């Protein structure tokens, strides 16, 4: 194919082991191949370096103006309708929700970068479900465009095409005090009946079963989700399988919930499907992103084990959530072993009545009306908290990434160099066979071994303390990336309620109508604040545990260094 020039939209730190090319926003590249597949192109930069880049990170450069005049215009057709005839889908609604879809999202890699992703298609039919291999799945996360760098969550890369706003920024027309928000979620939100829910124009469900109800209770710290029975879920035994006489291959994982101890086989695309269902249903809960996928090496043992580890982290977080862990869709994913029943449950989940705003019909909230100003102040404080924590997490990721590199690189190398130098000296001294030299030579040789040992200790230490910290930080980077969506939803509800109060003051809306709107807005506030409390409590538990692991690892490491030094002293150098 002919080469073409593209302009880079976002920073991307590629993984050289996967043949990926690192690029920076604004850079111009020459595309040498567009048939790589899975959302990847091959490109060459101005330095002549060549590698794979995500298709979604670049756009084709504008073609040059032709040197010949354009062809004559076609015959006049029907004139376009006037602007005031455009439907509501072509403009912003009162709450700032848009119908221009941006299938955003992000994951992250080992370096703390993020990338966009494409949501899975809704309403997959059963044949598609059976025949798609794992390459059809993607994952999600965050919101900051300038962070769209690097491969996916947990170092497993993927890239998919996304829609760009006229400003050149994904979702750029949807800015609020909570930052850039993915439009796709709010498009689904609006279509799910957001304004109808607030205005009482939607018909409430005739019956809500006890299993569908979600209780919120009031505490001195604020609303929280009512506690539910806890359980665990293990992901293990990844295995490469195939179908269609080997034409389709994939990795299957065994998923074993503790409440049944019955294992079910799930592929990555099953996790992807579950993620999409949860994200669509729980509009006030930030469903964290899945680990992303790589174009190369997806059947290599290291990749498979790493992705399984990250899927386990994701699953652990899901089963700890008091609402998600007990929803029917999640239970179906964990328990269904029969293929026919799986398809029936899959269709049922995709036709779930209580998704989007309709999820709020299932909330059993306290009867106490909320003080809107108090709610706004708390949410504004939390918004600042999210922004601050997002910055802190990114900084910690960068610091620990550099620290890990020093442990496995310069620290190990420096001690090994010293150890090697002593060993060489001992080899030379050993040429003198006199008894007066023997002890010194042995001690210097032992010193060389000791320094080599310390170097190895530095190289192996990150897996004991830095890596667990890294993994936890990446999880929170993903959660913090999607939280602005939830905050924007709540902001829109409060904005609509304020608008109705203003209409009442102007005599354009009845008091009882405004009261109903405020009551519906309170339901959304209760759900959002309950999730904020859940996030904060989980954050405290996670950071407390991970800090303990990290500091304990550091203490044990330096204890071992001290022991080595004592042994060195015994060498009587």
CATH number at residue 474: 1.20.1270.60
- Domain ends where: 29, 60, 91? 60
Q: Cα 353 to chain center, whole Å?
A: 26
Structural domain count, the chain? 2
Residue 214 located in a structural domain: no
Q: How many CB atoms lie within 10 A of CB 242?
A: 11
Residue 258 located in a structural domain: no
Residue 330 located in a structural domain: no
Collapsing DSSP states into helix, strand and coil, what is residue 528?
helix
Beta-strand runs (E) in 47-136: 50-54, 58-60, 107-108, 114-115
pLDDT tier at 377 (50, 70, 90 boundaries)?
A: very high
Q: What is the pLDDT of residue 262?
A: 94
The CATH number linked to 48 is 2.30.30.40
Residue 336 located in a structural domain: no
**pLDDT tens digits, 265-323:** 999 999 999 999 999 999 999 999 998 765 445 557 788 888 999 999 999 999 999 99
Residue of 225, 274, 141, 315 whose CA lies nearest to 536: 225
**pLDDT tens digits, 481-496:** 999 989 988 988 898 8
- Domain ends where: 42, 60, 78? 60
Residue 227 located in a structural domain: no
**pLDDT tens digits, 506-521:** 999 899 999 999 999 9
- Domain ends where: 19, 36, 60? 60
44 contacts 4 by C-beta, under 8 angstroms: no
Range of the domain at 24: 4-60
- What is the Cα–Cα distance from 361 to 78, expressed in whole angstroms? 46
Residue 519 located in a structural domain: yes
Mean of the pLDDT values across residues 534-545? 98
Residue 502 located in a structural domain: yes
Helix axes 328-335, 339-350, angle to 10 degrees: 160
Q: What is the pLDDT of residue 512?
A: 92
Residue 276 located in a structural domain: no
pLDDT tier at 530 (50, 70, 90 boundaries)?
A: very high
Which amino acids are annotated as binding site, given as ranges?
Answer: 267, 269, 307
């Amino acid at each position: 194919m002919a080469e073409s020039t593209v302009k880079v939209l976002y920073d991307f730190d590629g993984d050289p082991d996967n043949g990926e090319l690192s690029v920076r926003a604004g850079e111009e590249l020459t595309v040498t191949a567009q048939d790589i597949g899975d959302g990847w192109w091959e490109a060459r930069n101005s330095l002549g370096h060549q590698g794979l880049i995500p298709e979604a990170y670049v756009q084709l450069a504008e073609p040059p103006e032709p040197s010949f005049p354009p062809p004559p215009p076609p015959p006049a057709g029907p004139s376009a309708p006037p602007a005031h005839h455009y439907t509501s889908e072509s403009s912003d609604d009162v709450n700032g929700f848009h119908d221009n879809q941006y299938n955003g999202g992000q994951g992250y890699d080992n370096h703390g970068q993020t990338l966009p992703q494409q949501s899975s298609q809704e309403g997959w039919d059963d044949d598609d479900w059976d025949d798609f291999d794992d390459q059809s799945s993607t994952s999600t996360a965050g919101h900051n465009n300038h962070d769209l760098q690097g491969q996916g969550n947990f170092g497993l890369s993927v890239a998919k095409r996304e829609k760009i706003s006229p400003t050149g920024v994904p979702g750029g027309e949807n800015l609020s005090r909570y930052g850039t928000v993915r439009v796709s979620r709010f498009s689904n939100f609006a279509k799910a009946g957001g304004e109808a829910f607030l205005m009482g124009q939607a018909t409430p469900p005739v019956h809500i079963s006890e299993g569908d109800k979600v209780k919120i209770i009031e505490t001195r710290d604020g609303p929280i989700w009512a506690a539910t029975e806890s359980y665990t879920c293990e992901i293990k035994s990844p295995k490469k399988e195939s179908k269609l006489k080997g034409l389709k291959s994939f990795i299957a994982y065994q998923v074993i919930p503790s409440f049944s101890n019955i294992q079910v086989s799930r592929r990555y695309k099953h996790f992807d499907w579950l993620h999409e269902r949860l994200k669509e249903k729980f509009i006030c809960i930030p469903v964290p992103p899945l680990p992303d996928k790589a174009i190369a090496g997806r059947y290599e043992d290291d990749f498979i084990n790493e992705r399984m580890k990250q899927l386990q982290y994701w699953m652990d977080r899901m089963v700890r959530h008091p609402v998600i862990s007990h929803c029917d869709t999640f239970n179906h994913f964990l328990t269904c072993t029969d293929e026919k029943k799986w398809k029936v449950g899959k269709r049922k989940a995709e036709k779930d009545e209580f998704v989007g705003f309709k999820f709020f019909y299932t909330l059993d909230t306290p009867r106490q009306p909320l003080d809107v100003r108090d709610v706004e102040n708390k949410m504004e404080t939390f918004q600042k908290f999210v922004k601050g924590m997002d910055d802190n997490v990114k900084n910690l990721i960068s610091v620990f990434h550099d620290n890990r590199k020093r442990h496995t690189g310069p620290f190990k190398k420096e001690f090994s160099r010293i150890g090697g130098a002593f060993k060489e000296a001992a080899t030379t001294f050993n040429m003198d066979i006199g008894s007066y030299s023997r002890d010194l030579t042995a001690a210097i040789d032992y010193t060389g071994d000791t320094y080599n040992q310390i170097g190895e200790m530095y190289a192996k230490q990150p897996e004991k303390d830095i890596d667990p910290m890294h993994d936890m930080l990446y999880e929170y980077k993903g959660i913090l990336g999607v939280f602005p969506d939830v905050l924007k939803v709540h902001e829109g509800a409060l904005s609509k309620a304020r608008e109705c109060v203003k209409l009442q003051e102007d005599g354009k809306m009845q008091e009882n109508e405004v009261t109903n709107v405020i009551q519906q807005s309170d339901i959304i506030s209760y759900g959002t604040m309950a999730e904020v409390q859940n996030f904060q409590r989980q954050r405290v538990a996670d950071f407390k545990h991970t800090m303990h692991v990290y500091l304990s690892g550091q203490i044990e490491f330096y204890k071992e260094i001290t022991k080595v030094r004592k042994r060195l002293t015994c060498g009587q150098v």
